Amino acid sequence: MKRNYKLIISLIILVGVLVSFNMRYQPDPEKNKELVRVLRYILTQGHYQPTDINDSFSEAVFTDFLEILDPSKHYFIQSDIDEFSLNINEIDDQILNDDLSFFYLVYNRYITRVNETKTYYQDILKDPLELTKEETYSVDYKKSTFSQNKKELIQVWRKQLKMRLLGTLYDKEQAEEDLLETDSTYVMKSFETLKEEAQTTTLDNMDNLYERLEELTQDDWFGYFINSITAQFGPHSTYLSPKIKKKFDISMSGKLEGIGARLMKEGEYTKITELISGGPAWRAGELEVGDLILKVAQADAEPLDIVGMRLDDAIEYIKGKKGTEVRLTLKKVDGRIETISIIRDVVELDETFVKSTIVEKNGKKYGLINLPKFYIDFDEKNYRNSATDMEKEIENLANEGVSGIAIDLRNNGGGSLKTAIEIAGLFIDEGPVVQVKYRGEKAQIRRDIKRGTKWDGPLVVMVNELSASASEIFAAAMQDYKRAIVIGGKQTFGKGTVQNFVELNRYSRLDKDLGFLKMTIQKFYRIDGGSTQLEGVIPDVIVPSRYSYLDVGERDLEKPMPWDQIDSANYTYWDGYENYNTSIENSRIRVFDNAQFQLIDKNAKWLKEGQNDKTIYLNYETFKKDIESRSKEAEAFDALDDFKTDLTFKSPLHEIAMLESDSIFAKKREVWHTNLTKDVYIAESLNILEELRTKNKVELVKH
């Protein structure tokens, strides 16, 4: 089924999710003032890099809070902003004096405006919307301005409702064509009928959303304001109310049944930020990091538009019991609008663990190890962890006579620093692996303390733009020691900071639960002294990827901490390769000349162009032509799915018994091995391993 690619199908930006119409806000001045006081103290005293609470800080809070409430500028009018602006340089003083005047002013006005907009959408949708007028609407809200008056604002609502209706109408029309394609006797509904249904659906979705708004509490409200303050200390410093912290703990336990994905709010959208290895979404392979969820349907039920919905509410619709079906309408990272089906399940823990495979190439064997995350369980002494599992996999591969090993850290978001250090120690003799620094203190050098290595042969480390944190520490150490050749996208994610949860009640005498603060307390540095923050790890061999030009890294978050450098640690290069630099250069040449990589790069640029297209056509025929044009352009990249090598991947000997006794396990390995044969990045990593030669006697060179 063809799907629209524009950012705004179903777009109506209802970030009124932050407000309740009929709720009588019962402020708790004592609790709210105490919360501000405690947060102010902890952030200024404990944050790794505190921000001065001054006029610049005040302006940033002003901007961020209004953007949280009304990012698409369809609630407030310019006279409201003018009135609010009288406080633009006063918010810092109010925060320092536990004064919440700005919050109450904006909150009360927002309640009024949102109540008014309920009549707007109801009045607009009373009569059929006209879909033949040639007009457009820009969703580049950063450049848009607030309406001068309510008359202008109503026109904004008309266009936004029209965008939502167009998306729904197009979906219904495509569904009718699909039914006819599967059943030639099917009698398709008329266009007028579909248009009426689409308008009814739009009205129902609006009513449903406004009903949910009434369920918000004062903690929800005040939490958004507090987070406009914590946001000035960086993207990873966040206030969690007691209710939100409880939900966070449950989600981190991995015990919830659902689709197995981590979500975040990005403006009015619910965005996929991580796929949990072993989860149903990860196994299905259709959901990607960066996808935006527009609609959610339970099995065959009518889809519910979640654009603008509060994240907590959206999650409630997405998660569900094992075995139930959820259909997600997505705005894909490649610009298409697509509906996928996922059967909810629990995360399969065995798929989060290290696994390996063996491939034969030109008469030699090579090992590939996949590490989805750096896992450990501190509560269970004998529980398996990634370091001990990795050691076993290396021993098994070595016993089978592999000539080289590639470690796949693509999409590995990190995890345990302890295991990252221990895994590095499997490939280097004792020495520093990473430097960790607290605010105002000298960096602490974390070392591998075990003598000897488990593997001293050729080594390649694969990363991409989603390899983060502990993955970056390991890859950086292998690169700094010149122990491995690192291959991947332009750079890794670039998260070089450590966060900790602080219980706010520890700093308060108030007998009320204040919640928690997640706050940055440390920064990582490579052993060469450079931070992994923002810059991440720049691979030795850079290969194009679909994320090459998209906004997916730490550098694309709001107010990230800067990159900096400290003194290098004392370490010794692993000078064990005969042709280290030559192998890197030859790989770069192969990548440059490879037609598949050239097409990937062309596709990545095309994706970025689509991401930058902010114009929506509101004439239905033009709207459809725009979709068709994008779909036609996408056909130029169909060859990306046709790539296949002649390599054959096989499970190592220690898995044979399990393959024979467990058909489900055998099927998982079969699928994995099939996918590896279609992976051009794996193919080039094996080319490097095949060329890379070690010396008979490893030499160490002092840095």
Q: pLDDT tens, 631-662? A: 888 889 999 989 999 999 999 999 999 999 99
Nearest to 72 by CA among 152, 136, 140, 167: 140
Whether the Cβ atoms of residue 202 and residue 168 lie closer than 8 Å to each other: yes
Distance (Å, whole) CA 495 – CA 469: 5
Average pLDDT over residues 32-42: 95
> Which pLDDT tens digit goes with each residue over 430-451?
899 999 999 999 999 999 988 8
End-to-end distance of the chain based on CA atoms, in angstroms? 58
- Crossing angle of helices 218-230 and 55-69, in 10° steps, is 140
Residue 9 has pLDDT above 50, yes or no: no
pLDDT value, residue 656: 95
pLDDT (0 to 100) of residue 457: 96
Q: For residue 369, which of 358, 361, 360, 380 has the smallest C-alpha distance?
A: 358
Tokens standing for 354? 């290290």
DSSP SS3 for 312: helix
CB-based contact 21:116 (threshold 8 Å)? no
The answer to whether 408 and 368 are in contact (CB under 8 A) is yes
pLDDT in tens, 213-246: 777 666 777 888 999 999 999 999 999 888 776 6
The model's confidence at residue 294, banded by pLDDT at 50, 70 and 90, is confident
State the fold for domain 242-343. Answer: Pdz3 Domain (2.30.42)
In the block, tokens 């750079």 appear at 491
- Kindly tell me if the per-residue pLDDT of 538 is higher than 90: yes
pLDDT at 267 over 70: no
Residue of 666, 662, 663, 684 lying closest to 674 (CA atoms): 666
Report the amino acid identity of residue 579: N
Higher pLDDT among residues 262 and 346, named by residue: 262
Q: Give the rounded distance of the alpha carbon of 661 from its chain centre.
A: 37
Half-sphere exposure of 586 (CA within 13 A, CB side): 15
Q: What is the residue whose two structure tokens read 């020691």?
A: 481
Please say whether the beta carbons of 174 and 623 come within 8 A: no
**pLDDT confidence of residue 245:** 66
In three-state secondary structure terms, 486 is strand
For residues 283 and 259, give the distance between their C-alpha atoms in angstroms, rounded to a whole number: 10
* Homologous superfamily of domain range 353-603+647-702: 2-enoyl-CoA Hydratase; Chain A, domain 1 (3.90.226.10)
CA distance 85 to 71: 17
Q: In the chain, what percentage of residues exceed pLDDT 90?
A: 62
The residue type at 633: E
| Two structure tokens written together for 552 | 């997916």
DSSP per-residue codes, 345-396: B---GGGGS-EEEEEEETTEEEEEEE---B---TT-TT---HHHHHHHHHHH
Query: What pLDDT score does 253 carry?
Result: 37
- C-alpha dihedral, 94 to 99 to 101 to 102, nearest 10°: 40
- Identify residue 582 by its one-letter amino acid code: T
Mean pLDDT computed over every residue of the chain: 88
Lowest mean pLDDT among 282-296, 406-420, 654-668: 282-296
Q: Does pLDDT of 17 surpass 60?
A: no
The HSE-up count of residue 691 (CA atoms within 13 Å, CB side) is: 19
DSSP 528-582: TSBB-TTT----SEE---TTTTSS-SGGGSSSPPPP-B-PPPP-EEEEEESSHHH
Q: Is 690 exposed, middle or buried (0-12, 13-18, 19+ CB in 10 A)?
A: middle
* Residue 242, pLDDT score: 80
pLDDT at 272 over 90: no
Work out whether the CA dihedral 468, 473, 474, 476 comes out positive or negative. Answer: positive
Whole-number percent of the chain with pLDDT over 70: 90
- Whether the per-residue pLDDT at 471 is higher than 60: the answer is yes
Contact indicator for 685, 487 with CB cutoff of 8 Å: yes
Q: Residue ranges of the alpha helices (H) in 47-90?
A: 55-69, 78-84
Under the banding of pLDDT at 50, 70 and 90, the label for residue 565 is: very high
Instruction: Tell me which of 281 and 568 has the higher pLDDT.
Output: 568
- Please tell me the predicted confidence (pLDDT) of residue 378: 59
Write down the pLDDT at residue 507.
95
Do the Cβ atoms of 433 and 446 come closer than 8 Å? yes
> Residue with structure tokens 């050239």?
598
Q: pLDDT, tens digit, for every residue of 98-132? A: 999 999 999 889 989 988 999 999 999 999 999 99
User: Do 70 and 107 meet the contact criterion of CB atoms below 8 Å apart?
Assistant: no
Q: Comparing 170-184, 462-476, 590-604, which segment has the lowest mean pLDDT?
A: 170-184
Distance of alpha carbon 246 from alpha carbon 242, whole angstroms = 6
Q: Write down the H helix ranges in 23-100.
A: 29-46, 55-69, 78-84, 91-96
* The predicted structure's pLDDT at residue 196: 95
Among 275-289, 320-334, 354-368, 510-524, the least confident range:
275-289
DSSP H or E stretch at residue 326? strand 325-331
Q: How far apart are CA 1 and CA 11, in angstroms?
A: 20
Would you state the pLDDT for residue 21? 41
DSSP sequence for 217-234:
-HHHHHHHHHHHHHGGG-
pLDDT of residue 505: 93
Least trusted range by pLDDT, from 34-48, 209-223, 384-398: 209-223
Under DSSP, is residue 615 helix (H, G, I), strand (E, B) or coil? strand
pLDDT in tens, 510-525: 988 899 999 999 999 9
Residues 24-42: what's their mean pLDDT?
84
Confidence class of residue 274 from pLDDT cuts 50, 70 and 90? confident
pLDDT interval class at 666 (50, 70, 90) = very high
Report residue 377: phi and psi, to 5°: -130, 105
User: Could you tell me which residue, 3 or 437, shows the higher pLDDT?
Assistant: 437
Q: What gap in Å lies between CA 283 and CA 236, rounded to an integer?
A: 29
What pLDDT digit, counting tens, does each position of 65-97 carry? 999 889 889 999 999 999 999 999 999 999 999
User: How far, CA to CA in Å, does 173 sit from each of 160, 176, 301, 306, 477?
Assistant: 20, 5, 17, 21, 54
Q: Which ranges in 384-431 belong to alpha helices (H)?
A: 386-399, 417-424
Non-local CB neighbours of 300 within 8 Å, separated by 6+ positions? none
Does residue 200 carry a pLDDT above 80? yes
Give CATH 2.30.42.10 domain extents, the chain.
242-343
CA distance 411 to 370: 11
Whole-number Å distance between alpha carbons of 612 and 456? 47
CA distances from 290 to 5, 8, 618 (A): 14, 15, 26
Counting every residue, how long is the chain?
A: 703
Q: What is the pLDDT of residue 701?
A: 54
Cα torsion 47, 52, 56, 61: sign: positive
52: Cβ contacts below 8 Å, ≥ 6 apart: none
Which of 300-314, 361-375, 558-572 has the weakest average pLDDT? 300-314
Which residue spans of the chain are classified as CATH 3.90.226.10? 353-603+647-702
Closest-CA residue to 366 (of 400, 332, 334, 405): 405
Q: 246-262: per-residue pLDDT in tens? A: 665 544 433 445 788 87
SS3 letters across 170-214: HHHHHHHHHHHHHCCCCCCCCHHHHHHHHHHHHHHHHHHHHHHHC
Could you identify the residue written with the tokens 């519910």?
304
